[in-house]
Amino acid sequence: MSSVPERSEIDSEYKWDLESIYASDDEWETAFEDVQERLSEIAAYEGRVTESPETLLELLELQEEIMREVSKVANYASLRSAEDTRDQEYQALQAKAESLSSEAQSTVSFVEPELQELSEADVESFIETEPELVDYEHYFDDVLRMKPHTRSAEVEEVLAELGEVASAPSDIFGMLSNADMTFPTVENPEGEEVEISQGNFTKLQKHPNRQFRREVYQQFYDEWGDVRNTVGTALKNSVKKDVKYANARNYETAREAALDGTNVPVEVYDNLVETVRDNLDYLHRHAELKRGALGVEELEMWDLYMSLTGDEGPEITYEEAKEYIIEAVAPLGEEYQSQLAQGLEDRWVDVYENRGKRSGAFSSGTYDTQPFIMMNYQEDISSMFTLAHELGHSLHSELAKEEQPWHYADYTIFVAEVASTVNETLLTQYLLENVEDDEFRMHVLDEYLERFRSTLYRQTMFADFEHQMHTISEEGGALTPDRLDQLYGDLKREFYAPANVDDRIAREWMRIPHFYYNYYVYQYSTGISAAVAIVERILNEGEDAAADYRDALALGGAKYPIEVLETAGVDMASPEPIESALSVYGDYLDEMAGLLDTE
């Protein structure tokens, strides 16, 4: 029987090195208690933030010292929890850390409202008196920019304290989907019993046996159907939370609030959705190519993940994936390449799926730790691309930490998804140019086409769905599971018009964790658009363009995201990068169509 191993069965070399944060849970407990006690040191500055330039600098430096330790405490607990969501000890650890984070945010909540009592002229005067404050100039600009949407210190404290409660819908969904839900076991065509999981569902949907794919698909979504009321309630309340918080901060809509946090104009969102929906013909062509390649009369939802080549594709071991990725990023410079290679040796990555492990993949870490990448590696091309993606995030963090102080080292998701997708795009280019095996090359091309489909189109569809949900809630409408099915099903039918969109796929919204992240998903689509433009520039112009890109990554959060990408030569306020990416998608579809005809 093919089954998911327990964590204890996996060799330590394939697990991330959390002992590099804290040597033991006891050490974590000590750090937790110490930093919790120190929060009162910050509270002592309440009412004194603008007392003098010297006082302001003291507070900002103290806040950094304490919040850096809070971040480490929270990160360790979160990563331990992700290892096995069934482990109640680590779930309790994470709960404590979340409470600490909420308490810390509440403690510092007075700082920005008091800073907003200053005018721009006051800030300039403070910097003249205390020159070290110049390092915070962009931070001051951002704080003053948000003045119309910042409430009194008392209200800000209440909103901060509600942070832990506000995360309840997402927490409930996470525990349900990762820990409590048990998916069926099915027999594959080879006679083996295979346990369906969140981690392997997509891989099973790539199995060459169509009847097996259909059974996996139906069993998987039937299981979701049994919890539709629970998930529907969680998502409804998550949307309501976004709307209420936006109202509390004097925004007209939740979308305006979400995008204004990073100073991204709502026009960027509208440009994306409109441009993609105006170019659905590319996606429809991809679906038709897939139907023809599979030799079926009608493309079904359990065919969507299937390769255009008609089989599962070559096995790519983790060691092979590492070698390919290291070679692929060479155009970004020797230092970038060697840093990435060293990270793979230094146990940045938690490689394989284990029972209870959080599904999906992510890159995490803090200013004072190494990066940590969670994978559920499945020995296939898709997993290799996911590893390249997460390494892009990790190297972004490393470059930003090297060049920026703590308060500018973090960066927005809007920029983050560019860094990850640049690596994917470079990997595609490298493999297409250097791998001689024609079958392997076809699978690489197919994988990249799937990345376009699932990133530019699928995530834009998600963004459209997310905006529709919030709009309904803002207008006083009811977000029942039936209404969500209807909204999602209509979008799926529009985006996948050549295929048969059945009732089960209308439930797909139930399994998407990103819908709890408040206008998050659109940034995957803008990210791939910017990434394609940046890679084209690097391949055409060489080191100068690569240096511009590295400079953009090293900016971290020292500039607003639109400005950061301008440093790399991309204007995301324009639909041009999106149109350019769609054109590349079309070119790759042409190339694949030619290969299929040749076959």
Q: What is the DSSP string of 537-592?
A: HHHHHTHHHHHHHHHHHHTTTSS-HHHHHHHTT--TTSSHHHHHHHHHHHHHHHHH
Catalytic residue of the set 112, 353, 390, 474: 390
User: Is there a contact between 331 and 426 (Cβ–Cβ < 8 Å)?
Assistant: yes
Find where tokens 């204890």 sit.
8
Task: For strands 185-187 and 193-195, give the pairing.
Answer: antiparallel
- Would residue 41 show up in a list of annotated catalytic residues for this protein? no
Contacts of 158 (CB under 8 A, 6+ apart): none
Q: Burial letters for 49-63: b for 16+ Cβ neighbours within 10 Å, e otherwise?
A: bbeebeebbebbeeb
Give the integer Cα–Cα distance in Å for 202 and 511: 12
Task: For strands 185-187 and 349-352, give the pairing.
Answer: unpaired
Give the integer Cα–Cα distance in Å for 338 and 329: 10
Reported as half-sphere exposure (CB side, CA atoms, 13 A), residue 228 has a value of 19
Contacts of 302 (CB under 8 A, 6+ apart): 205, 210, 213, 214, 216, 217, 218
Beta bridge partners of 567: none
User: What are the Cα distances from residue 402, in Å, to 397, 398, 552, 554, 584?
Assistant: 9, 6, 13, 8, 34
The two three-digit tokens of residue 132, written as one number? 């070290």
The alpha carbon dihedral of 93, 98, 104, 106 has a sign of: negative
Give me the active site residues, please.
390
